[in-house]
Structure formats: structure tokens, C-alpha cells
Amino acid sequence: MDLTPIWLTLKLAGITTLLLLIIGLPFAWWLSRGRSFFKIMIEAIITMPLVLPPSVLGFYLLLAFSPQHGVGKWLQEVFNVQFVFSFQGLVLASVIYSVPFMVGPVKSALQQLPPALAEASYTLGKTEWQTFRYVLLPNIKPSLLTATVLTFAHTLGEFGVVLMIGGNIPGITRVASIAVYDSVERQDYAMANNYSLVLFSITFVLVIAVFVFNKYQAKSPLG
Amino acid sequence: MISIAIEKKLKAYDGQQILRVDRQFAAGSITKIYGPSGAGKTTFLKIIAGLIAPEKGTIINDGVTWFNAESKVNMPVQKRNTGFVFQQYALFPNMTVKQQLEYATADESWIKRLLLLGKLDTLQEHKPEYLSGGQQQRLAILRALATKPKLLLMDEPFSALDMKMKTELTAELKIVLKELGATTLIVSHNPQELDGLTSEVMMFE
């Protein structure tokens, strides 16, 4: 069994989760503070990947980053970066596709904290960043863990969006979910079963771990 | 001295009412504020701290303008150096007693003194969930004092303390406040409470 698709999948999920922790946490914090029409629109847009068929998202990304025109052409000419049929393209698509899994739980958890916690920190002379880092984030640990694990697990299971933008290039864009599809296409059901079993096991262990952890933190990931 | 002349619309069950305050508080004075629920006592304290902005008016502390609606001056809460004791304590659940004070100040000897003042020196490694209501309230007072504020705003700060603890704490507090030279405003629902501590009274209607 060629393990490259498995490693590629884990690498993609790891990088996507890390990027979403860096981008998604401040973003969730910004969304959690106050309501404006602009914020509602932004929230609706980042929620779209939850309901949109992955192939539709992948199709638009393929169009947007095609090196023949628009943004893709500009990126190719100015920075010599190509997102279509490349690993960085998979990362970009995964980040967009998984953003609601990171931002949603974290935003909800931040909104449930009493406003007086942040206010108390401000009266002690602390900046908004210090308050976020030392008061707010440590008090939403269960939701943060849930968001991190769900983002990772969700990226493991991506298929439509990564197939559209990345295709099926061995060692570059051929992740495990595509390897399953490819094996079935070639009627190599034993290989499809191997890849499926590995994906199933990793995802199952991750989800179980979240439920067990949150049982002791009195917060269900679905609650 | 702090001079406050502000107006703020308050949302009330039966419509809207306006909070209007025009008053000066002498430096180092301790004022008891009392009045019925919903009169805007907490809002008033939050306006002074900079947590809520009024629609009209000015707040001037020792000659420095903290707030001026007309000239759109609104000094950030972090720069006002006000100690604030929240009615629901607002203790940080992730921090121990000592960590809450260390978060506010790096002055170790001051932290030690505060812990003794609040009789929490034996509980300094405990998180708030393992403290009684009275201990939590004392910690909230100590944390507000930790930055050595020149203006201390306390919202029902002694409601969870028994009579003995309240008497001991207010006596100690009086000394500390004098040392700090802090102007203090204390919201209380009970007009008879704190007679030994406060020198001024302000009534909300």
C-alpha cells in the first residue's frame, strides 16, 4: 500500500488547522464583538462552505485561480505562484472550506462568556489583545479543542473541493480520499478498503477523543 | 477631584428613562451611592470607568478630560486607572487567587499585603470555583485595589460578606484607601450600610 496519500492528507490537515488557528481565532473574536450588517454578511459568507456542494466551491476556486485569467494569472506573473493543481492550492481550498468549523464554535464560546470578564481586564489596564490571550482564550478551552479537532477531521475527509482544484497528481495533490475514489475506479477494492479504513480509524479516534475530553469539561461538541 | 456632568438614556421595562448626574467628588472622599434597582447606579459607575459612553456631558478628573461628548474625547478605559469591583465579581475562572492579582500588578509586596487584608493568604493557589461567595467577593475587591487606583468604583462590594467580615474588612479598607488617596464610590442597596466607612452620600431616584 502506497502511504503517500495518507501522509499528504495528514500534512494538508495539519497545515490547514494551523493556518485556521492563526487566522480563525482573531477572526472569531472580531465576529463575537457586537453585531453589524457588515459582520452578518461576513458570517453568512464564511458559513457558505457548510451548505454549498464542495464541487461548486472547488469550481469557483478553479476559475478564480486559473493561471489563464484574473487573480490566478496575476499571481502567476507577479509571484510565480500557482494554486491550481498544486499542494498550496489544496491548502487554500481547505482553509476556505473548513473555516466555519474553526470560527463557528470559537465565536459562540466567546459570546457566551460574561462581558464583565473582558471589562474587568480592561479596568486592570490590559489591552484587548492581552485580554483575549490571557482571559478569554483560556476560558474557552473545550470549544477551542472541539474546533481544532473538527477542523482537522473535516480536512481529512475533503474530496470534491480538493479534486476540483488539485486534481489527482500522485505525491502532490492525490490525498487519501481521492486515492479511495481512484482505487474504486480501477476496481482495486482491496486498496480502496485500506485507504478507507485508515481514514475511518483516524477520524473515529479524533472524534471520540473530543467527546471524552468534553465529557469532563461539561460541554458536548454538538451542544 | 472628579467632576461629572453626564446624560445617558437607560432602557427600562416601561419605556425609556434618562440618567442625569451633575456632581463633583472630592479627592480621597468615600461616597455611598444608593437608590432603587434600575435607577442606573451600575451604569453610572461604568460610565466613569469608560466601559459605557454617555450621550452628553463631560467627565473631568484632576483637570484631565476623560470624556467630552461635544469634542468627542473619550479616554480609553485602560488609561483611566480606575479600580472596579463588579457586582458579579467577574473573577477570571482560569486563574488562581494569586494569579488574578499578578495579572493586575507585578508588585509582590503589595500582593502579599492585599492577600493578608482580604484574609486570602492561605487560599492563594485556589481558583475561584473553589472559593465561597464571600471569599470571591473579597478577591474581587483585592484585584480592584491591585493597580493602586486613584479612583475606586465598587458595585455592591460587601453583599456576600457576613457582618463580622464586613466590619473587619471595611476598617482595613479605610486605611488602605487613605494610603492610596483613592476617591471611592460605593453602590449599595441599603441606605444604613457602610455608615462607618463613607463620608458622603449620593442618592439615585
pLDDT tens string, chain B, 205 residues long: the values are 999 999 999 887 777 789 999 999 999 999 999 888 888 999 999 999 999 999 999 999 999 999 999 999 999 999 999 999 999 999 999 999 999 999 999 999 999 999 999 999 999 999 999 999 989 999 999 999 999 999 999 999 988 888 888 888 888 888 899 999 999 999 987 777 777 777 788 888 7
Q: Which residue type is seen at A128?
A: E
Interchain CB distance below 8 Å, A123 and B93: no
The CATH number assigned to the domain holding B82 equals 3.40.50.300
Nearest CA to CA, how far is B68 from chain A (Å)? Answer: 20
CA B113 – CA A40 distance, rounded (Å)? 48
Host domain of residue B149: 2-203
Nearest residue to B176 via CA among B159, B160, B155, B154: B154
Nearest CB to B90; choose among A116, A134, A138? A116
Looking at the 3D structure of chain B, how many domains does it have? 1
Is B92's CB within 8 Å of A135's CB? yes
CB contacts < 8 A, A to B, total 52
ipTM: 0.93
B143–A120 C-beta distance less than 8 A? yes
How is chain A classified by DSSP, letter by letter? ---HHHHHHHHHHHHHHHHHHHHHHHHHHHHHS---HHHHHHHHHHHHHHHS-HHHHHHHHHHHH-TTSHHHHHHHHHH----TTSHHHHHHHHHHHHHHHHHHHHHHHHHHS-HHHHHHHHHTT--HHHHIIIIIGGGGHHHHHHHHHHHHHHHHT--HHHHHHH---TTTT--HHHHHHHHHHTT-HHHHHHHHHHHHHHHHHHHHHHHHHHHHTT--TT-
Q: If you measure CA to CA, which chain A residue comes closest to B146? A: A124
- Walk me through the domains of chain A, giving residue ranges and CATH numbers: 4-109+138-216 (1.10.3720.10)
Question: Does the predicted TM-score (pTM) go above 0.95?
Answer: no
CA distance B92 to A134: 9
Give the distance from residue A99's alpha carbon to the nearest chain B alpha carbon, in angstroms: 27
CA gap A24, A36 in Å, rounded: 19
